[in-house]
Every structure is written in C-alpha cells, then in structure tokens.
C-alpha cells in the first residue's frame, strides 16, 4: 500500500510476517520477504504513482501526458480511480469497459452515449435507465424509443395518458395485440376513446 495526497492505494494483500526490502524503479518492482527469507516481488508502476499524484494535485495537463505511456491494461483501473475522485467526464473517455462506461454516461447525463451503450449491451434494465434519464431531460421521443424496445407497456401507458398522445396509444394497442396482452390493450383503447374486443 502507498499513500498519496490523503489517499491509500493497495498494491497487494500480504500475509503477516512480510517485510519490505526495497523498491527498484528501474523495473517497477517492490521486493518483500518473509521469515524464511523467501523473496517475493510485486509490480508497482512509478508512472502510475506519478499519474495519481498529478490527478490528486489537479495537474491534468501532466496527467494527460503520463497516461499516454501507461499500458492499456491499466486503463479500467484508472477510470475507476477518476470516477472515485469525482471526474466521471474524464473517466468515460478512458474506460474500455462498456458496463462501466454506461454507468458513467448515466452519471454525467450523456443521453447519446447512454443510448448507444444500452444498444450495445442489450440489457433491459439499462434501456429503462436511459428512459428515466431521457424523461428527466425532457426528451420524450428517446424515452418512448427505450420503453418500446423493452415493451414496458405500463410506463408507455402513463406517458401516453399524461401527454394525450393518440399515436402512442395506437402503438400500445398494436403491441398488446401482437404480444397477447388484453388488459394492456383494453386500457389503451379505453383511454384513447376507441374500443376493441380483447377478450
């Protein structure tokens, strides 16, 4: 574990009775030993430490320079670090984990990225999250698109009723017929002033 600007960073979990020998910056390794004098090494990138220092001191120009030299395998961990420090806008640019990127897109209220990633991930809950975000941003059309995608007819009914959206009522009726949901179809037809025999 190392300490930078009030933050602790874990390198490895060691058993009791381990002793630090040295750190060789030339090969980015920490060496420890135990009572039997067995030698164990752990990778610790000096560049990663420099990056943490740059971010925690809010020197983003230096941080952007350092990150160019860090291996891609570290980027997801760095993205989580940036999110924890309150910089989700930078984190989403670095992460290559679509699930994490989606969470960040929702967090920063980026509707376009959220919609794209929901489509990539094909997760019903994520479509609903995008719909909620769209509604909070006043984007009625994207909210409809997301809820139609997951066939959330109950939410669509509420939207249609609150906006007197006859076209949406008709879409719900068509969906209810296709998916054999007579109760949904009846409610949509009743609210729209059209009556169909669904039973």
The pLDDT score that the predictor gives to residue 38 is: 82
Structure tokens belonging to residue 125: 């809950």
pLDDT at 171: 94
pLDDT of residue 16: 66
- The helix or strand, by DSSP H or E, that contains position 65, with its residue range, turns out to be helix 60-67
- Cβ atoms 137, 111 nearer than 8 A: yes
Per residue of the chain (199 residues), give pLDDT as tens.
555 666 666 655 666 677 778 888 788 888 888 877 888 887 778 888 889 989 988 999 999 999 999 999 999 999 999 999 999 999 999 999 999 999 999 999 999 999 999 999 999 999 999 999 999 999 999 999 999 999 999 999 999 999 999 999 999 999 998 999 989 988 998 888 877 666 5
pLDDT at 6: 65
**C-beta of residue 98 within 8 angstroms of C-beta of residue 113:** no
Structure token digits, residue 161: 């009723």
Task: Annotate 67-88 with b (16+ C-beta within 10 A) or e (fewer).
Answer: beebeeebbbebbbbbbeeebb
**In the chain, how many H helices and how many E strands?**
11, 5
Q: What is the pLDDT of residue 8?
A: 65
């Amino acid at each position: 574990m190392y300490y930078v600007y009030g933050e602790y960073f874990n390198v490895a979990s060691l058993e009791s009775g381990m002793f630090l020998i040295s750190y060789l910056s030339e090969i980015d390794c920490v060496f420890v030993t135990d009572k039997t004098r067995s030698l164990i090494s752990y990778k610790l990138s000096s560049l990663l430490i420099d990056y943490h220092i740059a971010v925690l001191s809010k020197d983003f120009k230096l941080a952007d320079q350092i990150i160019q030299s860090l291996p891609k395998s570290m980027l997801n961990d760095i993205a989580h670090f940036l999110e924890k420090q309150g910089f989700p806008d930078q984190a989403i640019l670095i992460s290559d984990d679509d699930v994490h990127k989606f969470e960040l897109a929702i967090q920063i209220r980026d509707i376009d990225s959220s919609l794209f990633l929901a489509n990539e991930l094909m997760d019903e809950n994520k479509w609903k999250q995008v719909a909620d975000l769209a509604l909070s941003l006043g984007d009625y059309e994207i909210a409809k698109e997301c809820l139609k995608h997951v066939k959330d007819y109950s939410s669509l009914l509420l939207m249609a009723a609150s906006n007197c959206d006859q076209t949406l009522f008709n879409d719900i009726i068509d969906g209810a017929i296709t998916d054999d949901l007579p109760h949904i179809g009846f409610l949509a037809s009743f609210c729209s002033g059209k009556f169909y025999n669904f039973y």
